[in-house]
């Protein structure tokens, strides 16, 4: 990475972080966008530059700006937030690549179903006390048991966009 990241423990700053999703619906005519209001996480950067950590979202905190739709997304048709209140991404490894990017391997768990998920993260900024990562990746909701698709309205992949700000954790 072009910017050196300090080794040690890092804590996600939920007030400076966002995780959003978008999905084309109504046969591709409308894009539904939403943001998770409750996000938490932590990580560790090792001396060799690799990293591990976890980002957790509260499934019921998804806000698309439409209360009726949000209630449906929290239901058993989609996130089943009552039985599976958390969505987690557990970083198994992150290795620096050329420039300011890192290849991240991890495990995404939605509705109690865990699947491998790889992505590329970009280091958007770093100093001794804070770092910001940006990532965008796609998810096939069917792989997590979210197959509801009345009249074929939902097609394709869901895009997840994250801006995650971490601050150095107290030793």
130-147 pLDDT, tens digit each: 999 999 999 987 787 766
Average pLDDT, the chain: 87
To the question of pTM greater than 0.85 for the whole model, the response is yes
Report d(CA 53, CA 30) in Å as an integer: 34
Q: pLDDT per residue over 79-127, tens digit each? A: 899 999 999 999 999 888 888 898 999 999 999 999 999 999 999 988 8
pLDDT at residue 153 in the model: 52
Statement: residue 17 has pLDDT above 60: yes
Rounded to whole angstroms, the Cα distance separating 57 from 41 reads 9
Pairing outcome for strands 130-139 and 158-168: antiparallel
Output the DSSP codes for 20-84. Answer: EEEEEETTTTEEEEEEES-EEEEEEE-TTS-EEEEEEEEGGGEE-S-HHHHHHHHSTTTT-TTT-
Q: 8-168: what fold? A: Lipocalin (2.40.128)
Q: Tell me what pLDDT residue 34 has.
A: 93
């Amino acid at each position: 990475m072009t910017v050196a990241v300090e080794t040690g423990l890092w804590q996600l700053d939920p007030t400076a972080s966002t995780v959003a999703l978008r999905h084309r619906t109504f046969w591709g005519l409308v894009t539904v966008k939403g943001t998770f209001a409750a996000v938490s996480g932590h990580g560790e950067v090792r001396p060799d530059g690799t990293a591990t950590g976890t980002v957790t979202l509260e499934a019921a905190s998804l806000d698309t700006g439409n209360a009726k739709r949000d209630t449906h997304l929290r239901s058993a048709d989609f996130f089943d937030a009552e039985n599976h209140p958390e969505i987690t991404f557990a970083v198994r490894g992150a290795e620096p690549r050329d420039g300011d990017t890192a290849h991240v391997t991890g495990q995404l768990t939605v509705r109690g179903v865990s699947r491998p998920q790889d992505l590329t993260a970009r280091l958007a900024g770093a100093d001794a006390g804070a770092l910001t990562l940006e990532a965008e990746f796609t998810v096939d909701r069917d792989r997590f048991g979210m197959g509801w698709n009345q009249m074929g309205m939902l097609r394709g992949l869901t895009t997840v966009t994250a801006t995650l700000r971490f601050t150095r954790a107290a030793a």
